[in-house]
Amino acid sequence: MNEIVPTVASAEIARPAGWRGFVADWSSDQKAFRNVSWGKAMMWVFLLSDTFIFGSFLIGYMTVRMSTVVPWPNPSEVFALEIAGHHLPLILIAIMTFVLISSSGTMAMAVNFGYRRDRRKTAILMLATALLGATFVGMQAFEWSKLIAEGVRPWGNPWGAEQFGASFFMITGFHGTHVTIGVIFLLIIARKVWRGDFDRERRGFFTSRKGNYEIVEITGLYWHFVDLVWVFIFALFYLW
């Protein structure tokens, strides 16, 4: 009754074909996603949930924009700058978008060097990412103060529907908060990389678990997500 059957490697188990095979494979032993660590899986699930938050914000904004009877201010005009005598619509937003997308590039490089255990380059690239992110937030602060100086408030503005200011401050504010949290997150992890925590398997201050270089990639997932969300905000708020 109590004899233990010897175990064999999972490769020897034949999987049924078709949908049943797909389900059997996905629902098989221990892990649904074979090579995905707990931390990475958790970040993905969190991002899925966060997608619904940003989705609700954007759908809410689009609903009020469509249901309001007052004309919506023209974003190309509102977000235009006069530079050296030229009237350039959306120029600041274009630069911000460029900066944020570039930061995704440096982040991807940081992940690469992290897995090569190149502490110096990883930390420098993460700092560069954080710097670009901080620049983005700085430009957003400039944009906010310019609009506030022109009289845009969450409860009204000189050009039309008052939901314009409300949606603008709420959505860019919520996204900017995400970027700021990302910058802080990047700085903390960059410090750990620099100090060599992941080479010496130093234990975390709060969780007392050993860290490893995968955290760089997990940070990267969050960062790319924030970047991707910006693309949707850019398209749906500024270009519409």
Q: What is the contact surface with another protein in residues (CB under 8 A)? A: 1-5, 7-10, 12-13, 23-24, 26-34, 36-39, 41-42, 45-46, 48-50, 52-53, 55-57, 60, 63-64, 67-70, 154-155, 161-163, 165-166, 170, 174, 206-210
Minimum distance from CB of 133 to another protein (Å)? 22
Question: Cα(67)–Cα(76) distance, rounded to whole angstroms?
Answer: 21
Q: In whole angstroms, how close is the CB of 50 to another protein at the nearest point?
A: 8
How far the first Cα of the chain sits from its last, in Å, is 70
Tell me whether residue 52 or residue 84 sits nearer to another protein (CB atom): 52
Q: What is the CA radius of gyration of the chain?
A: 23
The least distance separating another protein from the CB of residue 201, rounded to whole angstroms, comes to 11
As a whole number of angstroms, the distance between CA 186 and CA 180 comes to: 10
What's the closest the beta carbon of residue 152 comes to another protein, in angstroms?
12
H-helix segments, the chain:
18-26, 38-67, 75-78, 91-115, 119-149, 163-195, 214-233
In the complex with another protein, which residue's Cβ is closer, 13 or 83? 13
Say how far residue 98 (Cα) sits from the centre of its chain.
15
Specify which residues 203 forms β-bridges with.
210
Q: Of 55, 80, 103, 81, which is closest to residue 238 (Cα–Cα)?
A: 80
Closest approach, Cβ 44 to another protein, in A, equals 9
